[in-house]
Chains A and B, each alone.
Chain A
C-alpha cells in the first residue's frame, strides 16, 4: 500500500532537488573512489591540479613566459622562485604556461579518441564487411610504422604547429586549435588502437543472447548499437583512452625535445629540456629539473588515475589481476 502512495510523490520531484540528488550521488561516488583507490585518487588530484594550472596559467604566471625578464641563469630566489633560464626567462612562468601544451593536447586527444574509436569500432564490429576490412588493414599498416618516426613524418608533412600566446579564458581551446597538426598525428595512432578494442567488444557482444533477443523483437540496428552495445563498450574505451594519455604527453614532449613539436620559443616542457638550455644544465640544474618533473608528475597522475579507473571499470579485471 505504501509503495503505491509513494510513486506519484517520486514523480513530482522538482528539477532543483533532483540536481541536488545527482550531486550528492556524485559526491558519494567520489568519496567511495577515494576510499577504494587512494592512489588513483591521488593521480586524479595531480591531473586536476595540472589542469587547473593550465587553465589559469595566463593569470597565475608571475612573468611573461615568452620574454626575457631578468639576467640569465639566476638561482632560486624570492623574485624568481625557480630561477631563470639561459635567455633570462622566468622558469616558473614557463613551466606553468608550458602545461597548456601538454594538457590541451592530452584532453583533446582523449575526447577525439573516445568518440572516434567508439564510432568506428562499433560500426566495424557490428556491420563488419568492407568498411571493417579497410579500417583493420589500415590499422595494421599504421602499426608497422615506427612510432616516433611516423610522428616526425606527419609533423613535417603538415608543418609544425604555430602556437601563439593566448591569455583569455578559452586559452586552452585556442592552444589545442593551434596544435591541430599534432592533435591529428596523435589521434590517428590512438584511434587505430582504440577502434580495435571497441571492435573486439562489439564483435563478442554482437551474438550475445540479449542482443539476439533485442533483434528478435524487431529492434533496429541503430537501436541495438546505441542502447545495447554502446553502454557496454564505454568502460573499455574510457580505460583505453585514459591509459593512453601518458603516452601522448610523453610523445609530444619527445617531439618538442627533438625540435619538431611546437614552434621554437613557445613555453613547452619538452622544448625547455632541449636546445641552448642543455649546455648550462650543470650550472643551473633547476632549468632542467622543473619541466622534467612537471612532465613526470602529469604522466604519473594520468597513469595512477588510469590504473584505478581500469580496476573499477574493466569488468574483465574486476576482482582479479594485480592492482599496481
Chain B
C-alpha cells in the first residue's frame, strides 16, 4: 500500500508542472497585447516596453517583434523560447515560495485570494454536502424500493436534473419566487461569523440548486451500484445466515456499492469548480470563480496562471485522495 501511495503522490508533480507550463505558454501566445486591454488605446500611443517592464511581461516585447500573424503568436516561438522559459521559472519560483505576484490591475494576488477563498470554499462545501446527502439518500431509497413509484420519481428527477443547465436552474431560482411571491432571493454574500442568518439565507438556496446536477448523477450511480451488489451471491448468503436486513445492507452491500461512487467523487469536485464560477457570476458572490472569470476576460496573466494552478492542485489532490481511498476499500487495486 505504501509503495502504491508513493507512486501516486510522485506522479502528481509532473502533472502539475505540465499544467502550469501549458497554461503559461498558452496565455503568452494569446493574440493581442495585454497592455492594450488594460491601458486601452492604440499600440503607438502608449509606451509598450515600459508597461511590459513595470508589469514583468518583458517576454511580450519579443513575442510582438517576431509575431508573424499565424495562429496566436506561435510564429514567434522560435525566437522567444529563451525569455519565455526564464519568465516561466521566475513565476514558478515565486509560486513555490507562496507568492503568486501581482495582478496586472495592480494589487497583490495573495490578498485577493485571502479575501475570496472563504466564499468559494463555503460554496463548495455546501454544494458537496448537499450533493452527497441527496445523492446517497435518494439513490439508496430508489434501490431499496426498486420499481415502486418512489423509485420512478427518483429516476425521473435524476434524468431531468442531469438535463437542466445549472445557470438556467439558478436563473429560475431568482425568477420563480419573484414572479409568484414578489420575493427576490438576496444576491451577494454575507460573512459567516458576522451575520450567520444572512449568510445562510444567501448561501443555502443557490448551493442547493447547484447541487442538483451532481446529486442527480450520484443518485443514478448509487442506485445501479446497489442493485448490482444486492444481486450478488454473498448477499444471499448473508441473508440466509439470518443476518438482520440492516446488517446485510450496511456491512455487506453498502461498502461494496461505495466503490463506483468514490470514482465519481473526484470528478464531482472538478465539475463543482466550474459550477461555483457560474454561481458566483449569477449570485454576485465575490469568490475565486468570479476573480478567475474576470482575469480570463482581461487576460490578466498572473491571476489566470495562479488560479489554474490552484484549481489543478485541488483536482489532482481530489483524484489522488479518491485513488488512495479506492485502494483502501478495494484491495485488488493495489496489486495492479
Binary A-proximity of B16-46 (CB < 8 A = 1, otherwise 0): 1011001100110111000000000000000
Q: Report yes or no: B163 in contact with A300, Cβ–Cβ below 8 A.
A: yes
Q: Report yes or no: A159 in contact with B179, Cβ–Cβ below 8 A.
A: no
Nearest residue, chain A, Cβ from B28: A157
Chain B contacts with A in 145-200, Cβ cutoff 8 A: 146, 155, 158-160, 162-168, 171-172, 174-175, 178-179
Residues on B with beta carbons closer than 8 Å to the beta carbon of A295: 164-165, 168
Chain B contacts with A in 276-299, Cβ cutoff 8 A: 277-278, 281, 292-293, 296-297, 299
Nearest residue, chain A, Cβ from B275: A148
Cα distance A289–B271 in the bound complex, in angstroms = 25
* Segment from A91-99, A197-205, A249-257 that makes contact with B: A249-257
Which residue among A281, A321, A324 has the maximum number of chain B CB atoms within 10 Å of its CB?
A: A324
Q: Report yes or no: A152 in contact with B296, Cβ–Cβ below 8 A.
A: yes
Binary B-proximity of A270-304 (CB < 8 A = 1, otherwise 0): 10011000100110010010001001110110011
Chain B nearest Cβ from A309, distance in angstroms = 14
User: Which of B23, B30, B168, B315 has a CB less than 8 Å from the CB of A273?
Assistant: B168
- Chain B interface, number of residues (Cβ within 8 angstroms): 60
Cα distance A166–B48 in the bound complex, in angstroms = 40
User: Is B307's CB within 8 Å of the partner chain A?
Assistant: yes
Q: Report yes or no: B167 in contact with A324, Cβ–Cβ below 8 A.
A: no
* Segment from A8-16, A114-122, A137-145, A168-176 that makes contact with B: A137-145
Q: Report yes or no: B171 in contact with A144, Cβ–Cβ below 8 A.
A: no
Residues on A with beta carbons closer than 8 Å to the beta carbon of B307: 149
Cα distance A324–B106 in the bound complex, in angstroms = 52
Nearest residue, chain B, Cβ from A159: B31
User: Which of A141, A147, A292, A300 has a CB less than 8 Å from the CB of B160?
Assistant: A300
Residues on A with beta carbons closer than 8 Å to the beta carbon of B159: 300, 303-304, 307, 324
Residues on A with beta carbons closer than 8 Å to the beta carbon of B22: 141
Q: Report yes or no: B72 in contact with A157, Cβ–Cβ below 8 A.
A: yes
Cα distance A145–B15 in the bound complex, in angstroms = 10
Chain A contacts with B in 230-250, Cβ cutoff 8 A: 246, 250
Cα distance A159–B143 in the bound complex, in angstroms = 47
Q: Report yes or no: A147 in contact with B271, Cβ–Cβ below 8 A.
A: yes
Q: Report yes or no: B220 in contact with A146, Cβ–Cβ below 8 A.
A: no
Residues on B with beta carbons closer than 8 Å to the beta carbon of A303: 159, 162-163
Chain B nearest Cβ from A301, distance in angstroms = 8
User: Which of A144, A254, A258, A282 has a CB less than 8 Å from the CB of B179?
Assistant: A282
Residues on B with beta carbons closer than 8 Å to the beta carbon of A152: 293, 296
Q: Report yes or no: B165 in contact with A321, Cβ–Cβ below 8 A.
A: no
* Segment from B53-61, B91-99, B224-232 that makes contact with A: B224-232
User: Which of A149, A254, A307 has a CB less than 8 Å from the CB of B273?
Assistant: A149
Cα distance A156–B308 in the bound complex, in angstroms = 14
Q: Report yes or no: A146 in contact with B223, Cβ–Cβ below 8 A.
A: no
Cα distance A158–B159 in the bound complex, in angstroms = 34
User: Is B274's CB within 8 Å of the partner chain A?
Assistant: yes
Chain A nearest Cβ from B56, distance in angstroms = 20
User: Is A153's CB within 8 Å of the partner chain B?
Assistant: yes
Binary A-proximity of B297-330 (CB < 8 A = 1, otherwise 0): 1010000100110011011100100000000000
User: Is A77's CB within 8 Å of the partner chain B?
Assistant: no
User: Is A322's CB within 8 Å of the partner chain B?
Assistant: yes
User: Is A320's CB within 8 Å of the partner chain B?
Assistant: yes
Nearest residue, chain B, Cβ from A256: B167
User: Which of B172, B277, B315 has a CB less than 8 Å from the CB of A292?
Assistant: B172
Cα distance A300–B158 in the bound complex, in angstroms = 11
Cα distance A157–B168 in the bound complex, in angstroms = 27
Chain A nearest Cβ from B59, distance in angstroms = 16
Residues on A with beta carbons closer than 8 Å to the beta carbon of B208: none
User: Is B71's CB within 8 Å of the partner chain A?
Assistant: yes
With A153-B308, A322-B224 as contacts: A141 and B15 at CB distance below 8 Å: yes
Nearest residue, chain B, Cβ from A151: B274
Residues on A with beta carbons closer than 8 Å to the beta carbon of B165: 250, 253-254, 257, 270, 292, 295-296, 299
Nearest residue, chain A, Cβ from B174: A281
Q: Report yes or no: A296 in contact with B179, Cβ–Cβ below 8 A.
A: no
Q: Report yes or no: B277 in contact with A324, Cβ–Cβ below 8 A.
A: no
Q: What are 14 A-B pairs at a CB distance below 8 A? A: A141-B22, A147-B274, A148-B273, A149-B292, A153-B23, A153-B296, A157-B30, A258-B281, A260-B297, A273-B168, A299-B163, A303-B159, A321-B224, A324-B220
Interface residue ranges, B against A (CB under 8 Å): 15-16, 18-19, 22-23, 26-27, 29-31, 71-72, 142-143, 146, 155, 158-160, 162-168, 171-172, 174-175, 178-179, 220, 223-224, 227-228, 231, 270-271, 273-274, 277-278, 281, 292-293, 296-297, 299, 304, 307-308, 311-312, 314-316, 319
